[in-house]
Amino acid sequence: MSELLLSVGAQCFLAVVLDLCIGEVNRWHPLVGFGRLAKRVEAFFYPPTEELPENRFPPGVLATAAAILPLALAAWLLSLLPNLGWFIEVLILYFAIGGRSLAEHARYVSKPLAEGDLEEARTKTGWLVSRETKNLTPDQMIRATIESVLENGNDSVFGALFWFTVAGAPGVVIYRLANTLDAMWGYKNERYLYFGRAAARLDDALNWIPARLGAVTYGIQGNLNNALSCWWKQAGQYKSRNGGAVIAAGAGALGFTLGGKSVYDGVEVESPVLGCGQLPNMLDIERTVSLVSTGTWIWVATILLLQI
């Protein structure tokens, strides 16, 4: 019993409870600090100039390594501290998880939508997605919110739990920081197409297994056959196979259809159909949030059972 109480599963349980009770800290969040650090690293390895260098991939590799590896090493050293290391690992995992924050942001959209305040709903949708939101209809905001919750449920919860279980504090630090760098540098525009490729590829590789386990997690909570069918048939058509897997499986499990037109930097993009059934309604936002929150406890229970 003492070994179980000090196990990785117990650490995951405590970190999820901390996230549920406290949520995301408003000030001095490590990922916010890392974002500032990443901007300085980018400025050092890839300073903004009017004329971009011809070979932009090597600076991206160096910048990605310089931003991530020292912090992963620090996490490993802190985890070795006698008596304190175990608890520090719990805190590191807690800061890497964003389940409560994700649910809150989804409700920031659904509440003004329910009240008919479309401008506020558009503003809050912009907190979740990178697409333009100023002209979104209620249906488009619902779709954007659900897609974000399904994809970020994997990125900010399932993936973090997976890499913590596999590689401890250094593993979850590398995973979460790679995910953050991808969000900052993973744009397919002239400046970041090559520079951000290392961060994007690292994030893709680290998310490959968690995304597929996440797709199964969504599937077993709803219509599993639809979830698996949508995942296998549709994921490859999405801009990211990892994102496509979890979004298609989640939409299939809950029985609605996502996808359609979105605008990014003034360019209209047609996203493939993901899922099956009718278009989602406002109540489906809460159903999606529940899919992630229940899935989180499924992961924690599974990790604990593996320790027995």
Structure tokens of 114?
């329910």
Query: What pLDDT does residue 267 have?
Result: 74
Q: What share of the chain is helix, strand, coil (3-state, %, to 5)?
A: 75, 5, 20
Query: Taking a C-beta distance cutoff of 8 angstroms, is the pair 150, 247 a contact?
Result: yes
Q: Is the sign of the CA dihedral 32, 34, 38, 41 positive or negative?
A: positive
Q: Kindly list the distances between the CA atom of residue 209 and the CA atoms of 61, 161, 162, in Å, as whole numbers in the listed order.
A: 23, 12, 9
Q: What is the mean pLDDT of residues 297-303?
A: 96
pLDDT surpasses 90 at 270: no
Give the H or E element holding residue 275.
strand 267-275
Comparing 202 with 29, the larger pLDDT belongs to 202
| 3-state SS class at 267 | strand
Digit-coded pLDDT (tens) for 40-72: 999 999 888 767 767 788 899 999 999 999 999
Distance from C-alpha of 175 to C-alpha of 72, rounded to nearest angstrom:
10
Residue 212 tokens read as 């597929």
Q: What's the pLDDT score for residue 262?
A: 77
pLDDT (tens digit per residue) in 202-260: 999 999 999 999 999 999 999 999 999 999 999 999 988 999 999 999 999 999 999 88
pLDDT, tens digit (0-9, with 9 covering 90-100), for 107-155: 999 999 999 999 999 999 999 988 888 889 999 999 999 999 999 999 9
Q: Alpha-carbon Rg of the chain, whole angstroms?
A: 19
Residue 271 has pLDDT above 90, yes or no: no
Above 80 in pLDDT, residue 269? Answer: no
Q: Which residue has the tokens 């901390």?
A: 18
Q: What is the pLDDT of residues 146-179, one digit of tens each?
A: 999 999 999 999 999 999 999 999 999 999 999 9
Amino acid identity at 72: A
